Amino acid sequence: MRPITTQTLFSLQFSGDPQFSPDGQSIVYVKTTINQEENKYQSQICKYDRKTGRDIPFTQGLAQDKLPKFSQDGSYLAFVSTRSGTPQLFVMLTDGGEPKQLTFFKKGVKSYSWMPNNQLVVAARKDDANEKSDVRVVNTLRYRGNGYGFYGDEPIHLWLVQVDGSGPQQITDGNFDETDPTVSPDGKKIAFVSWREENQVEVTPSLYTVDLDTGLIDLTYQGKGSVSHPVYSPNGKWIAFFGHEHGEDSGYNTELWVVSTGSGEARSLSRSLDRPVGNQVGTDARYETAEVSPIWDMDSQKIYFTATHEGDVYVYSVTLDEKIQKETPGDTQVVTSFSYHSGVIAYAKETPASPAELYLQQNKEIQQITYHNTPLFKSLTVSVPERTKFQARDGLEINGWLLKPPGFSSDQRYPLVLEIHGGPHSSYGNTFLHEFQVLANSGYIVLYTNPRGSHGYGEAFVRGSIGDWGGKDYEDLIDAVDAVARLPYVDRNNLFVTGGSYGGYMTNWMVAHTHIFKAAVTQRSICNLHSMIGTSDIGFWFNVKELDGADIWEDEEFILSRSPIRYANRVQTPVKIIHSEEDFRCPMEQAEQWFTALKRLGVETELVRFPNENHDLSRNGQPEHRVERLDHIVGWFNQYLGNKE
């Protein structure tokens, strides 16, 4: 058996976004691999035949093909591909042939949906005819986004496209973005999400419909928080969507809602579940391309969706009278995407022992249908995490996991690495984590937990960090480390810490408030919450919400009191800083401030800057950069690893 190393990344394969054909006899899905020679990802559409069990590639090439969707009559398959440069819409016959490019938007396609008559509606940004200079004139707060870059002046609108390539015909106009189009069953209306106000400080989008005959736009649901992924019921009486009514705030459970297309009455169907819809469990071994939306049963009485529950993600169903049922049995799983057809669920499932593979479930019987990672993992020493629980000092129960080195012996003592997730409203869970496996195979025990602020434990728990960054969340993490460090097989003289984004913030906060760690690696981190408000692509609203309304003028002292930079003169722990130069979420200036402060104060510090990478380096950055990042982490810890007791 071979150990899992940083180089193992190049051999991983990622499957997701299963889609049933209209007759239910075949399933298409997206398989992503890494082309090491080209240093990039390749995604192709694959097709699984339920009768024969045959699984074959449906598209070819070195591009990224994603978001496959069958036409309603099953004769065509559409998908978005980068094969012409930017993400454009392509279509091909379902019995094979060459894909045909349907769109040529300069900045690509955002989303799309089929019409009943084999037309398609596309959300895309109109080409800017006035783009004559490389000088940017900015007039809105939301002028750039991490991983996207600068948006430009033209908003996203809806367009009709024909399968023969004619068009596109513009449907909507104006100064506002329109996204997430969904088509009514009779093909006469398109519902979409839009924020149609000039105020950009806080965006709470609403749900609109446009009549294709008259062009009139009606407000269907007035949003009070988040609204996304609308889908018409088959009978046209309802639109299901994901959202909440708490403003622009990620510290609440997003729920499954329905709104009546007749009365406009809207209500949440999943509130009693007290769990966020969708997958909130993070990993660095995923390349899921799906846009996971609610899925209606054909009788328009039941809706299928995913939700995160204490480190797992399941498929659930809910009826219009709010009866919720867990559909995927068992535990220790993370469902990243799924499709439903006549009582059968096809889903992509991750486990602690493997990235996502595809499964079919019918009458509670489960069949695995892809085995892309099986040959590789049969040759690797994979560590299986152990669930554990801790009691915080105020009595609150905190969930976590311990990942031990292969060949673990309770008679030995091992160094410990604390990993801290981002968000703060993300979560760890029962998924394969390549970085953690690399550390375990390097001889470290890895501790990862879901302190208060994490999703999946109820709304009160996820709100537990609001206005208290560096408070109870810090205590939860320290209490977990203290509990594990008391175990006889843990070397408490060799404790290490790392984390990214909010996890980087907490890494900085920890080394400024305790000296128990031998070394730290802070990644895409935050050190100054005050300056981040004006430099991050989301800081002007996100920081305010996370600090419970703290204002940069009236609450400057409080904001700085919760910023690690205030306590830099307390740091003694050697710190490696890893940051991406195109990170718009936690900007490079955060790393530069932290590095300058620590270096000036004489702390052993090293700054590693990754060019041409953004906030998502650890998840979907250039593969060679991802491997180099892991080498930096393991190398830094090994450098400060002392003799075991």
Secondary element (H or E) of residue 125: strand 119-125
Helices 434-441, 623-640: inter-axial angle, 10-degree rounding: 40
161 closest CA partner among 116, 118, 192, 129: 118
Report helix, strand and coil shares of the chain as percent, to nearest 5. Answer: 20, 35, 45
Q: Identify residue 308 by its one-letter amino acid code.
A: T
Choose, from 268, 442, 501, 563, the residue flagged as catalytic: 501
113 counts as catalytic = no
Question: Which two structure tokens, joined as six digits, stand for 19?
Answer: 């889609």
CB contact at 8 A, 283 and 350: yes
DSSP strands (E only) in 392-483: 397-403, 414-420, 445-450
Question: Which two structure tokens, joined as six digits, stand for 49?
Answer: 């035949």
In the block, residue with structure tokens 């939860």: 476
Question: Which two structure tokens, joined as six digits, stand for 606?
Answer: 């090293």
Radius of gyration, alpha carbons of the chain: 25
* Cis geometry, peptide bond prior to residue 611 (ω within 30 degrees of 0): no
Q: Is the dihedral of CA 449, 454, 457, 461 positive or negative?
A: positive
Secondary element (H or E) of residue 189: strand 189-194
Please report the DSSP string for 268-310 in residue order. Answer: ESSGGG-S-BS--B--SS---------EE-TTSSEEEEEEEET
501 counts as catalytic = yes
3-class secondary-structure state, position 109: strand
CB contact at 8 A, 210 and 192: yes
Helices 472-485, 502-513: inter-axial angle, 10-degree rounding: 70
Report the distance separating Cα 54 and Cα 333, nearest Å.
25
Report the distance separating Cα 400 and Cα 398, nearest Å.
7
Choose, from 434, 455, 615, 632, the residue flagged as catalytic: 615
Question: Which two structure tokens, joined as six digits, stand for 161?
Answer: 């496209």
Report the distance separating Cα 617 and Cα 583, nearest Å.
9
Residue 302 has phi, psi (to 5 degrees) of -140, 145
Residue 542, Ramachandran bin (φ over 0: left; ψ between -120 and 50: alpha; else beta): alpha
CB contact at 8 A, 94 and 76: yes
**CB under 8 Å to 231, separation ≥6 — which residues?**
182, 239, 240, 241, 293, 294, 295, 296
348 closest CA partner among 53, 339, 81: 339
Report the distance separating Cα 607 and Cα 295, nearest Å.
46
DSSP strands (E only) in 536-618: 575-580, 605-610
Please report the DSSP string for 40-108 in residue order. Answer: EEEEEEEEEETTT--EEESS-SSSBEEEEEE-TTSSEEEEEE-TTSS-EEEEEETT----EE----TT-
Question: Which two structure tokens, joined as six digits, stand for 92?
Answer: 């091909």
Active centre residues (catalytic): 501, 615
